[in-house]
Amino acid sequence: MTAPGLPVFSLLETRVLGVLVEKQHTVPDTYPLTLNALAAGCNQKTSRDPIINASESEVQAAIDRLKALTLIVETSGGRVQRYAHNIERVLQVPSQSVALLATLMLRGPLTAGELRICSERLHKFADISAVEAFLHELAERPTGALAVELPRQPGARENRWAHLLCGEPAIAESHAAATSGAGDISLGEIAALKANVARLEAEVGDLRALVAKLCAELGISA
C-alpha cells in the first residue's frame, strides 16, 4: 500500500516524476521541463523499464493530476509552461531518498548495488550500505512505506527493491527467469553490460539518423 494520504499512482504518473528528478540533475540548464521535453523523457528508450510510448495529451493528464497533489509545480514565463517536481516537500524525504525513488520509478525493481550505480548521476552514495540505509528508512517510515524489499529470486545473490507509489509490485516471472542463471555474474559485470547496451543503443540511433540523412541527400530509399 502507498503511504497514508497518497493515492495509488499510475505507471505514467511515476514515470513523469522520475523524469523530472532525473533531468533536474542531468540537464539542469533546461529544467524545469516543457511538456515536449517531459514526454520525450517518459518515452526514452534507454535507462527505462518498461519502455512506454505516451502521447503528450496523456503526459499532460498525468501532470494535471500530480499538480493537484502539489507533487508538480508549474512555472510561468516565456512562451511555454514548464514543470518541476516537489517530491521532497510533499513526501517529506531527503534528496538521497528522492534519487533512489526516481531510479526505481524509471528502471523498475533493482538491487541496492544496482541502485547505487544507476542513481550515481542523481546522488553519489559512498557505498552500498549507505544505499541500504536510505532504502530501509523508506520501507520503515512511520507515516507509511514508500519502498519494499522483494523476495529473493531463484539463483539471485541479492534482493531487489521496488517503490510502492503504484501499490504493491507484482513479481514478474519473466524477470525471475532472466535472472535465475545470473548467480555467477558479479554486480560489476552486470552494470558494465547494462552500460554497454545503453551506449550501443545510442550509437545505433545515431547511425540510423546518419543513414537516413545520406539517403535523403542522395535521393535513394533507405
Q: Is the pLDDT of residue 38 over 80?
A: yes
In the chain, pLDDT over 90 holds for what percent of residues? Answer: 67
158-202 residue pLDDT tens: 999 999 999 998 765 434 444 444 444 455 556 656 666 776 777
Residue 28 to residue 166: CA distance in whole angstroms: 27
Provide the pLDDT for residue 92. Answer: 95
Provide the pLDDT for residue 216. Answer: 75
pTM: 0.77
94-152 residue pLDDT tens: 999 999 999 999 999 999 999 999 999 999 999 999 999 999 999 999 999 999 999 99
